Amino acid sequence: MDRAWRLRPALSADAEWLADLKARAMRPDLERLGLWDEDWARRRFLDTYVPANTDIIEVDEMPVGVIAVRPEVDAQWIEHFYLDPAIQGQGIGSQVLRYVMDAHRDARSFRLAIDRGSAARWLYERVGFVHLYDDTNGVDQIFGAPGTAAART
């Protein structure tokens, strides 16, 4: 398949620029929710970053995004899925998400959390995720992939 992007394994050395990317990508949603705090956004990323679970998205050999899959016993959590705002809206996000889900598909469901009211919801719904429940924190909404145990509950 000819595509404009590729994935490479993440490294520990990627952590700082990825924390910056998360802050840029998440700022509009966090500001909308009245929760913007750049130090908190960076710290939250750095505290949960696991390079072994993470791939860097590159376009023309330049890093433009990140996606991680955190394996749990009953589900695989899509996490830290951020694209540089300059390349959003070009279809790369849905292509990457489909590719990563195909590469990790097994008996477990896929899950992810998004901020309430996030514009990213349409991306996840377009690739087949459905809303499962709202987290008790009042901010996160949990989604599951269709055709899985998570999506049927």
Is residue 105 helix, strand or coil? coil
User: Are the CB atoms for 16 and 42 separated by under 8 Å?
Assistant: no
- Run of H or E residues at 33: none
Instruction: Quick: pLDDT tens for 83-101.
Output: 998 998 899 999 999 999 9
d(CA 99, CA 66): 13
Residue scoring higher pLDDT (142 or 71): 71
Which residue intervals of the chain are DSSP H helices? 15-32, 38-48, 92-104, 121-126, 149-152
Confidence band for 150, pLDDT divided at 50, 70 and 90: very low
User: Are the CB atoms for 150 and 110 separated by under 8 Å?
Assistant: yes
pLDDT of 5 strictly over 90? yes
Residue scoring higher pLDDT (123 or 146): 123
What does the CA dihedral 97, 56, 31, 33 come to, rounded to 10 degrees?
40
d(CA 4, CA 22): 22
pTM listed for this prediction: 0.86
Domains in the chain with CATH codes: 5-152 (3.40.630.30)
As a whole number, mean pLDDT of residues 7-24 equals 95
pLDDT of residue 147: 36
